[in-house]
Structure 1
Amino acid sequence: MGEIQGTQTPAHSPRISTVGHAALDHCFAIEQFPAQPTKTPAQAYRMVSGGMAANAAIAAARLGARVGLFGAVGDDEAGQFLARRVHSHGVDCQGLQRVPGATSSISAVVIDANGERQIFNCRGDALRRALPLDVSYLQGSDVVMVDPRWMAGAIVALHWARSAGVLSMLDGDLSPQEDLQTLSALADWSVFSESGLAEFAPGVSVEAGLQQALDAGTQVAVVTLGPRGVRWKRRGDDAVHSIASFAVKAVDTNGAGDVFHAGLALALAQGQDDRAAIRFAAAAAALKCQRTGGVVNGPDRAELDQFLALQS
């Protein structure tokens, strides 16, 4: 694919494999969301790569990891853009399939002046038509991260990680309950968005939802709550732990969850304990929220270390 333009990483850096969704995002910046359907002017527009696995891959590469992305896009223009874009930010894309005749996932992302966003996605059929995941590409991984968008690939990756003794993590964003339950039972860490946990365990408290994930088989259950911080629980520990969010002025929350997952995976791969790793990840997400432009403008490792050093 040509020379990688992203940050180069040393060979001893942790290797993270991300398995799942890559999407082409058309991003529109507006002043505020209208109360009812109407024509709304946008102050800015940009076309970027998106999707949970692709975003996490770019974010992890920016933080200094060696990263491989595994998923599928179509052989359309969107797929060509995605493959070039993700690779240009330092991600190994040899596991990103180009499926003949398939359509890539495309989203419209609308972001208001407070940094909140709405996403409208047409997922396409590339992941559904993808060939099975070749686990030989996962050899050498320190962490395997999956999302629920490519269930076949995620299940294979999680089974491989468990048999190989490699740390695994689920990005538990909003998805069908059955899919989240299947993957959570196989992952060492199940890291849910608030809406994802509510879908996984509807009608119960956050604490009960985390416990349900542990009962299903995961080792550590986490939920990110935006400005209300992060809560988590580990198997065998009766306590539900929490950290507060970092006080920042959010201008664009799009991709913050993906940056959190990338930061958490890197911190765990480098041996940080639960609290330190989650704090590291939360700081990375907070820095992302202060910047527009998606995960490509997320923090690098030096920026994140400096930010953490300034916190009390």
Structure 2
Amino acid sequence: MVQQDSRTVAIRNILTRLSKRSGLSADRLRTTEIDVAPLLDLPIVQQRAQQEGVSPEEAVLPVVSDLARQLDPTNRLIADVELALGLLREKHPAGIDQDRLYAADLGERREYLTAQWRVLHEALGAESIPDAPSVRSLRATPERRAFTALAGQLAAASTYSVSNYRFTPEPKVLITLPDSQSRQGVVTVIGSAVIDHIYRISDIPSAGKSTPGSFEVHAGGKGLNRAVAAARLGLRVRLVSAVGDDDAGRHILNYLATENVDTELVRVVPGAQTNVSAVMITSTGVSSKIGCEDDRIRQGAYDIRDPKLRAALESSDAVLLTFEQPADAVRRVLAMVRGLADPPSLVVHPSPPVDAPQYLYEYLDAVDYLVGAPWELRRMLPRDSVAAGPDDAQRLLSLGVRAVCVTEGFRCTVRSADVNADIANFPVALEDSPGAAAAFSAALAYQLVTTRRPADEPEFRWATAAMVATQSFGDIPDAMPSIRDIDRIVQLAGEEPAGA
């Protein structure tokens, strides 16, 4: 799985670059300056070349065309037109100008594809047709999704080996990315992706004592958990993070791909080791954590000057931000979101707390929802302020935050100009769950994206129910609930699901 993901990314990048100008052809492969060796060396290409007695360059086009036909209608159309494969020449859809559809210039192909979006989908017999993108939006997530799906098909027969971690991947994986026909809303998550060493114990031992337990290794991290949680609710999700250039980092990338999370903005830091956390979870669900971090990962999580980051924020309906990056980077993200003409809903989890929160105060008016445990939110207030108390949320509101959500032990207290709610009536079996905070933020983002309005008490209740639904002893991201799981918790409490 690790090796396959690396190959998938390499093939996707090659296909994306080959789509420029006239598209994919044997002549282009022979003359291009692009390093196409990973594409030519694919087992499926080599096998086709040997069977037909042709060169690998001549085998690529029929192989890519055959696999593109197996994609869903939207991804098939994008791959076909962008690479100028000519698949629709077989169907001759009425009213379609084939010369424009497969023009020698990529820009012209894009324009014609978006203009004839519905007609082309109908020609493929698509049961449901997503809204037509603009040329600009087509160049972002839809193209990336289509090329990744096609690259996953091409690399699906490859194998892999893992030496340093006891992961248990399947030897062959066909990566399926979010289908634009079934997923809605765009959510960008900015936070960590790590390897969690999970220790399940009856209770945390005191000094000099030991306790029996079990041990597992899984992908995790505040950012990854939120991204997976949002993807499982049917949202289109991208993660902004960083991993090391090692087996653990490649495992994380592949795991995210199989969970339908876009990883283009997950930076692989050369020479760095992927961060590792030791998470101790007791029988009541209470957890403690030890973080082992390579500072190169934290410093290299993303480049604030990267135009791709700004484009990601601009195209998002909601952004989930944690404070796992340097304080200056957090400040710059807040400033960037605030400066957008049509900013996304911004959900912030101030963890881990920053040392000098006052440097963020001038940007807190960009924060729509500040979500955290009492001690995390408390650390957002000045150090010399009075003792902690019930007025903390109001003081944070006075700093510019639009709503404060205090989450603790499957309970939520919400304070804003319009909402004053204390939500704590769901049935619970544990004291806490390490995935609860991530589930809350993702469920809140789902409500914001789908209702297209600020959250009210029913939406906060649904997000609180998502915390309750994480009561599980499975690995933390795998405990993230589905819509059905959350609705079931709401109904057990005798309430209507939000949006019902």
* TM-score normalised according to structure 1 size: 0.89
Give the aligned CA root-mean-square deviation in angstroms.
2.4
CA distance in 2 between counterparts of 1:175 and 1:184 reads 15
What pairs with 1:30-69 in structure 2 (closer than 5 Å)? 30-42=201-213, 44-69=214-239
Q: SS in structure 2 opposite 1:195?
A: helix
Consecutive unaligned residues of structure 2, counting only runs of 5 or more, are 6-151, 153-173, 495-500
Work out which structure has the larger RCO, using CA pairs closer than 8 Å and 6 or more positions apart in sequence.
1
Query: If each structure's helix is expressed as a fraction of its own residues, which one has the higher value?
Result: 2
CA distance in 2 between counterparts of 1:154 and 1:91 reads 22
Letter of the structure 2 residue corresponding to residue 309 of structure 1:
Q
- Given that 2:240 and 2:302 are in contact with CA atoms closer than 8 Å, whether structure 1 keeps it comes out as no
CA distance in 1 between counterparts of 2:285 and 2:206 reads 17
TM superposition shift of 1:261: 0.8
TM superposition shift of 1:191: 0.9
TM superposition shift of 1:173: 2.7
- Given that 2:287 and 2:434 are in contact with CA atoms closer than 8 Å, whether structure 1 keeps it comes out as yes
For 1:150, the equivalent position in structure 2 comes to: 325
For 1:17, the equivalent position in structure 2 comes to: 188
Structure number with greater Rg is 2
What pairs with 1:50-199 in structure 2 (closer than 5 Å)? 50-125=220-295, 126-133=297-304, 134-151=309-326, 152-162=328-338, 163=340, 164-179=342-357, 182=360, 184-199=364-379
Consecutive unaligned residues of structure 1, counting only runs of 5 or more, are none
Letter of the structure 2 residue corresponding to residue 154 of structure 1:
V
TM superposition shift of 1:297: 2.5
Identity of aligned residues (%): 26
Distance 1:27 1:208, change over 3 A: same
- Given that 1:6 and 1:88 are in contact with CA atoms closer than 8 Å, whether structure 2 keeps it comes out as yes
Distance 1:297 1:136, change over 3 A: same
Report Cα offsets for 1:212-236 as digits up to 9, x if no partner.
Answer: 2212221111111214x211211x4
TM superposition shift of 1:245: 4.7
- Given that 2:337 and 2:366 are in contact with CA atoms closer than 8 Å, whether structure 1 keeps it comes out as no
Report Cα offsets for 1:78-131 as digits up to 9, x if no partner.
Answer: 222221222221111111000112232210001111111110001222121344
Q: Which segment drifts farther, 98-107 or 153-162?
A: 153-162
Q: Which segment drifts farther, 111-120 or 204-213?
A: 204-213
Question: Which residue, out of 167, 175, 180, partners 1:4?
Answer: 175
How many residue pairs get aligned? The number is 308
TM superposition shift of 1:156: 3.7
For 2:390, the equivalent position in structure 1 comes to: 207
Q: Which segment drifts farther, 194-203 or 52-61?
A: 194-203
TM superposition shift of 1:154: 3.5
Distance 1:104 1:184, change over 3 A: farther
Report Cα offsets for 1:169-204 as digits up to 9, x if no partner.
Answer: 111234124248616453221112222012223654
- Given that 1:102 and 1:129 are in contact with CA atoms closer than 8 Å, whether structure 2 keeps it comes out as no
Question: Which residue, out of 461, 479, 495, partners 1:279?
Answer: 461
Letter of the structure 2 residue corresponding to residue 233 of structure 1:
R
Letter of the structure 2 residue corresponding to residue 111 of structure 1:
I
Q: SS in structure 2 opposite 1:288?
A: coil
CA distance in 1 between counterparts of 2:431 and 2:392 reads 30
